[in-house]
Structure formats: structure tokens, C-alpha cells
Structure 1
């Protein structure tokens, strides 16, 4: 559903999927929360009215209806989506309005380079920030209840720094997805990587975040946890540094730092080659090639 903000021209997309009540179901409705609650209350009231003969009097129905309305409203407003607005930072009104009770926040398909605006979302449990511009300078506020974090398709390259930061600020993290980043070596992003590189990456992540239950697209297995404990610290996939750019045409190229030739033979102007007549003559008596050749055939 879409909530309109007074300070912004665009709507705030509020997503609600699969919320079930007694005899009713809302899926991706496009209306304001008050309207959704009103419809829910009407449906619930008609449901209770049909059972008034067996379930009790009006006071019981009224109390139960108020409870259902409150729970539905809390569930509705706890799932916030702000998708596809091309924003470069998290708008202040999101934190001011929904930060204290939001449980799930989806900020996908924007141009975010910072998540500093999350400091108001103290109760956040799920955070989705796919398809943004987040880099190695990413910093999250402390989110003690966060158990799900997806950072797919951003610009993260330093896996070690990211994992150390997440271990510090998200102690309850159980689900993490980093697909589409250079920090996650897979063939979709880096054609030169293979399944072994990706498996080593999983061991390294589980070494840094041993409480994870799900990484990227696969559930964490007991075998992976044991391997990460034993050898995960040595499984970091290191990308070699790029070589210096080649010199322009006509410039002298620098010699290689290592040569298998002796020191005296490396300089073409200082060699020890000798041209002279050798005093030893080879007659070929013991040559294997002459074994079956007679002298008259020479």
C-alpha cells in the first residue's frame, strides 16, 4: 500500500503480503493503513456477528475485535518498503515516523551510499538494501535484533572489513546474502572464479560469523561449520593486485626483477663468450646413430 509523505512528492510504498486474519486475506493491497484496518474491522465484525449465538455477547466480540485491529495495525506498519526512489540517503521522515516500531525495512533499487539513517530503526529485524551503491565504507548502527540482512548487487569488495563490522553491530545475524558483489566470488560476477573459490569464501564468512544459519542461497551445513572452525581463518580469497600500466609505445620497458641467467650474463655488454678452435675432436665412435652404418656408406 502507498503512504503519502507530506515532505516528499513521491509515495512511500508500504508492502504487506500474506497477512491472514480470520476469514480474510490481504496481499499487496494499495491503500492507506486506516482504510486497510477499516476493511479488516468490517470483515472481522461480520465474521464475529455470524458466531454471536455460540461465542458470547457483544462485549466479548468488541474486545476481540479491538485486539485483532490492534495486532493487524502493528503488523501492517511493521513492514516498510521504500523501493525505487533513487534516493542517495535514507529520508528522515522514514525514521521519525516508522523507526520505533518497524521490524522489516526494504530499501532496494535506490542509490544509497550510506545507511546512517538507520539509527532510528532500533527494533529492526530484517533489512533489504539490494541494488544500491554501498561500498567498503558501509557502516551500520548497532542493531541487536537484526537477524536478516541482504546486500546483493552493491559495490562491496573488502569482505574481511565488512564481516568484522557485522560481527560487532549485528550480534543476532543469522541470514546474510552478498551475491552480486566483488567480495562474493562467484561465476555470475567474476568469470575467472569457480566453485572452489566460492566454497572457500563460505568457510571464511562462517569463520567470522559462526552464528549464521543461511548464507547467500544455501543453508549452512554442519560440515561447513566444522571446516570453518578448523581452517576458515586461512580461506580468504585474495585477489592479486593489478600490475602497473604498460608504458607507452617508444618507452623503455623495465627489466624483470628475476632472471635465471647468471649475474655476469644479464648484461649484453658484459659477456664472456669466446670464439676459438677447440682442441678436442669428436669422431662419433660411440654414437648410437652410427651403430648400423658401415664405413663404406659414409
Structure 2
């Protein structure tokens, strides 16, 4: 089949404009593939990965994967690249990855809105990127590489202490600004109780 390259336990199906993983790929190679490259397609779903139970590396760069991406449980997967997709929300993705790919050591999310990179977005700087790294490392404690950089011991220590507080929260609606926040209401209650 044109576009299909198989070499030992490595399977590549690149630039085929497929919107889902072809059923024949899993049927024919799922039981033996350790590395699967599906870059430069139009993938929005990863449903066809269920049969690839021995995967160690999965390359999904340059697809149309978004916040709803779901991976099956892949216990041997140590490398996952999702560069240049349409991922805008980080926390739910990281929680999902922590659950289904417990052996993950290398993750790359460059070129997604969820990865604040000054090369992609001029409003982002190195500080934004570093906060993102702390948050990812807080969620995925086994990572050795994130994007193109090795995880340092100092980063890992910072992630343990501050990572949980590095989440970027965007207001969902402009109307929120007019309402008192929970913290504001708690503060009012606190002050009210000590007026006597």
C-alpha cells in the first residue's frame, strides 16, 4: 500500500490525509508495532489505536487532534509527540496521559496553543514557557524530556513545590468580572464574623 512503510517493529503511515487510523493498520501490525508514526494526516480521533498494545513510541505530529483526544491504555509507551495539533487545554490532557500512559518519559507538545512558546505566539515569553514546564512536570512526574529539553533536577524540585500553582486559567466569560469571586465572598464572610 502506498505511503505505508514497515521496518521491523516500526510502522509509518505519513501524509495520507486520513481522518482516522485505518482499520487494516491495527489488524495487520497492531500486535507487533513498537513504533508508530502517523504524522501529517488529518486525524481527529485515535480510536484505531486499541490494537497497538505493545507501542513504545507514538508520533502524531501535524494532525488535527484537539482537547478531546483519547488514547487507549498503552502501558509500554515511553515517547509521545503531539507537536502542531489543536490542543488548547492542558490539564485534562495531562490527567488523561497520567492515567493511560504510566511509563511516559518523553512528551512533546510544541506548536499547540496549550504550549506557550514565544516562537508560535509573540505574547508568550520564556517565563510563560517555564511555568508550563513546571505544571506539566507536576502532573507527569516520570518525564525525562519535555518538548526539546531534558528535565533538570532543579526543574523537578520546583515542580514538586510550585507546579500545582502554575496552571494558566483563562476566564470563560467576560461577565465573570462583575461577580464577586469565591475568595472575595470568603473574605467578606471572614471580616463579617470578626466585627463583634
TM-score by length of structure 1 reads 0.57
Contact 2:79 2:107 (C-alpha < 8 Å) held by counterparts: yes
CA distance in 1, matches of 2:117, 2:20: 29
* 2:24 counterpart of 1:127: no
* 2:78 counterpart of 1:147: yes
Paired position in structure 2 for 1:87: 18
CA distance in 2, matches of 1:238, 1:110: 31
Contact 2:12 2:37 (C-alpha < 8 Å) held by counterparts: yes
Instruction: Give the superposed CA RMSD.
Output: 1.7
Alignment of 1:1-298 (within 5 A): 4=1, 10-14=2-6, 76-241=7-172, 243=174
CA distance in 1, matches of 2:68, 2:127: 28
Contact 2:14 2:41 (C-alpha < 8 Å) held by counterparts: yes
Tell which structure's C-alpha radius of gyration is larger.
Answer: 1
Q: Which consecutive aligned stretches of 4+ in structure 1 deviate over 6 angstroms post-superposition?
A: none
**Deviation of 1:187 (Å):** 1.1
| 1:189-222 deviations in Å (ceiling 9; x for gaps) | 2211111010000000000001000000100000
**Which runs of 5 or more structure 1 residues have no equivalent in the other structure?**
5-9, 15-75, 245-255, 259-298
Change (3 A) 1:187 1:241: farther
CA distance in 1, matches of 2:141, 2:25: 32
The number of residue pairs the alignment matches comes to 178
| 1:127-154 deviations in Å (ceiling 9; x for gaps) | 0000000001100000000000000000
| 1:204-256 deviations in Å (ceiling 9; x for gaps) | 00000010000001000000000000110001123344648xxxxxxxxxxx9
Structure number with greater CO (CA < 8 Å, separation at least 6) is 2
Paired position in structure 1 for 2:193: none
**Which runs of 5 or more structure 2 residues have no equivalent in the other structure?**
180-196
**Deviation of 1:168 (Å):** 0.1
